[in-house]
Amino acid sequence: MAGGKNKLSDSSLRKMLGRESPGDSFYADGDGLSVKVTKSGAMTWVFAYRLGGRKEKPQRLKLGNYPDMGLKLARDKRDQCRAWLAESKDPKYQLNFTAGETLKPVTVKDALQYWITEYAEGKRANVERHKAQLAKHIYPYIGSLPLSQCETRHWLECFDRMKKNAPVAGGYVFQMCKQALKFCRVRRYAISNALDDLTIPDVGSKQEKGDRDHTDDEIGQIWQASKQLKFKPYYAAMLRLLVVFGCRSQEARLSTWAEWDLKKWVWTVPKEHSKGGTKILRPVPEAMRPFIEELHCQHKDSGLLLGEIKESSAVSAWGRLVWGRLGHIEPWSLHDIRRTFATKLNDLGVAPHVVEQLLGHTMPGVMAVYNLSQYMPEKLDALNMWCERLDLLAGGHENVILLQVRK
């Protein structure tokens, strides 16, 4: 046949179907597409192509049988194959992948769990919280839907359901899902742009940056209560650790005895438990060492600092009630203790970079690259001074009067 494109017609194909002939023949439609007609009259669409130029051996790829695959669909398949070739992709493998995706599509749950397994479990300290939120708010409603068929409106139904009672949590889950879909898209695991045009205000609200810190009286009361029988042992110990070290609750909640060097008196928070993804070294102040030894005697067989791991939701829920039990007028959360820790240490004259390292914050700019010092002596001095201050605020020294400085 002469060169050109789209040379075959429906009428010519119908005439060839079922007609017996001495042997197999190929009839070209153009641009690599042809129909193979066997001697018995059976017809198959074939796409011929080369990988790497004319010097390479031509390959023939079966696209489908006629008349199950009509002329228009065969041409669409040919054009798709040519587009793949333009991207240096082998049409043979691309067709197999597309067929597999059609037969067993990637679901919303598949995509989110792919992100959990391939990214979050190695990079996120609060991955268990991610899993719990997805299991509660996403999977029961759209988890089984094919990702390619899950539209923006389906996602919004989930987020709107959360927005009514927990708008901040809704925004948090939205950000997580949006990141997960981008991760899947970049790695070519599955493609969805359903969340691209949405922002946090569309689905919930951002976590407002808190400005609550504790007065001297309040932090003194908290410190005193953590050493008494006002709370259950687990939560009393948790509170004590948060006040002294300014650590995140998850760092204490997940802490194991492998992190504690009771000879050098250093607590090393591994990067897996750190929000910033880097390990945190904290010296143990002298006043806390008997308490840590006591915890070790009680819980060493469990391998856990606090003897068990409670869910983050349970710890957060308990933390939201502490202010009321202590008779404080203004509410506060466990995270506010970190702000108080930073504020009080700065007031005591501790250098800002030492405070930032105790908090586990990443050092700014080039300091994070070139300055690898852990400032352990300075940290120890700061925490020793902080423990002395806490005892004073809790009324531990009757012969000392605290003078208030006007700011």
CATH class of residue range 216-393: mainly alpha
What is the mean predicted confidence (pLDDT) over 283-298?
96
Of the two residues 236 and 94, the one the predictor is more confident about is 236
Find the farthest-apart pair of alpha carbons in the chain and give their distance in angstroms, rounded.
115
Q: For the chain, what's the residue count?
A: 407
In this predicted structure, the answer to whether residue 232 has a pLDDT above a threshold of 70 is yes
User: For 84-97, b where at least 16 C-beta lie within 10 A, e where not — what string?
Assistant: bbeeeeebbebbee
Q: How many CA atoms lie within 13 A of 264 on its CB side?
A: 11
Alpha-carbon span 7 to 354, nearest angstrom: 77
Q: What is the pLDDT of residues 22-69, one digit of tens each?
A: 888 899 999 999 999 998 889 999 999 988 777 778 889 999 899 889
What is the reported pLDDT for 260?
96
**108-203, what's its fold?**
DNA polymerase; domain 1 (1.10.150)
CA dihedral 34, 38, 40, 41 (to 10 degrees): 10
Is the Cβ–Cβ distance between 64 and 44 less than 8 Å? Answer: yes
Look at residue 344 and tell me whether its pLDDT is greater than 70. Answer: yes
Cβ within 8 Å of residue 74, ≥6 positions away:
29, 33, 35, 45, 63, 64, 66
CATH tag, 10-90: 3.30.160.390
pLDDT at 362 exceeding the cut of 80? no
Tens-place pLDDT, residues 189-199: 888 999 999 99
Average pLDDT value for residue range 297-322: 92
Instruction: Return the higher-pLDDT residue of 397 and 326.
Output: 326
The mean pLDDT of the chain is: 87
Rounded CA separation 228/220 (Å): 13
pLDDT at position 273 is: 87
Read off the pTM. Answer: 0.57
DSSP characters over 98-149: HHHHHHSPPBHHHHHHHHIIIIIHHH-TTHHHHHHHHHHHTHHHHTTSBGGG
Give the domain ranges of the chain.
Answer: 10-90, 108-203, 216-393
The C-alpha atoms of residue 247 and residue 271 are separated, in whole angstroms, by 14
How would residue 370 be classed by pLDDT, with cut points 50, 70 and 90?
very low
Whole-number pLDDT of residue 55: 74
